[in-house]
């Protein structure tokens, strides 16, 4: 499955600035979905490179690629070429964010550190720890 995906990645180099600008114009101003598809396919290699940075099993790697592709599509939707930022620099944050959110979700059951506490419970816990450390109190009454 992974080898099929790798073989489907674009083999040609980067798009020229003119070609990329034309595709963005066609997608953003004229609503051409084919231009959007071509941009996403072209930047799919960025997703693959980011996914391979994580030491995970092949099945998880495929899930990471899928999540990263969703991030890439989100980036394409929100990207504004008028801002003067390269799309790859903009997109990598969404790609990486989707991948990290996925990995955190997979590890949440395995790793206590990824459990999210309600802010009030977390504050109470921190106060109790500080009181124990600073004043050697056994417990703190919050009521």
pLDDT in tens, 110-129: 444 444 556 776 677 667 76
Write out pLDDT tens, residues 5-64: 777 777 667 788 899 999 999 999 999 999 999 999 899 999 999 999 988 888 888 999
- State the distance between the two ends of the chain, measured CA to CA, in whole angstroms: 57
The predicted pLDDT at position 136 comes to 54
Q: How many CA atoms lie within 13 A of 20 on its CB side?
A: 18
* C-alpha distances out from residue 134 to 7, 126, 139, 143, Å: 60, 12, 12, 21
* Residue among 98, 51, 54 nearest 72 (CA): 98
Cα separation, 91 vs 112, whole angstroms: 30
Lookup result for tokens 């999540």? 67
Tell me if 104 sits within 8 A of 115, measured CB to CB.
no
Run of H or E including 114 = none
pLDDT value for 77:
93
CA 24 to chain centre: 22
The pLDDT of residue 93: 95
pLDDT of residue 137: 46
d(CA 80, CA 87): 9
pLDDT interval class at 101 (50, 70, 90): very high
63-91 residue pLDDT tens = 999 999 999 999 999 999 889 889 999 99
> For residue 141, what pLDDT band results from cuts at 50, 70 and 90?
low
- pTM to 2 decimal places: 0.69
């Amino acid at each position: 499955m992974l080898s099929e995906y790798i073989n489907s990645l674009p083999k040609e180099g980067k798009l020229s600035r003119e070609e990329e600008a034309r595709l963005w114009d066609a997608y953003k101003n004229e609503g051409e979905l084919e231009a959007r598809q071509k941009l996403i396919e072209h930047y799919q290699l960025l997703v693959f490179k980011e996914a391979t940075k994580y030491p995970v099993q092949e099945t998880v790697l495929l899930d990471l690629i899928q999540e990263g592709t969703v991030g890439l599509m989100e980036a394409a939707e929100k990207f504004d070429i008028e801002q003067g930022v390269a799309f790859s620099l903009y997109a990598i944050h969404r790609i990486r964010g989707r991948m990290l959110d996925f990995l955190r979700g997979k590890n949440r059951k395995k790793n206590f550190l990824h459990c999210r506490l309600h802010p009030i419970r977390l504050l109470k816990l921190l106060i109790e720890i500080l009181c124990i450390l600073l004043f050697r109190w056994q417990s703190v009454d919050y009521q």
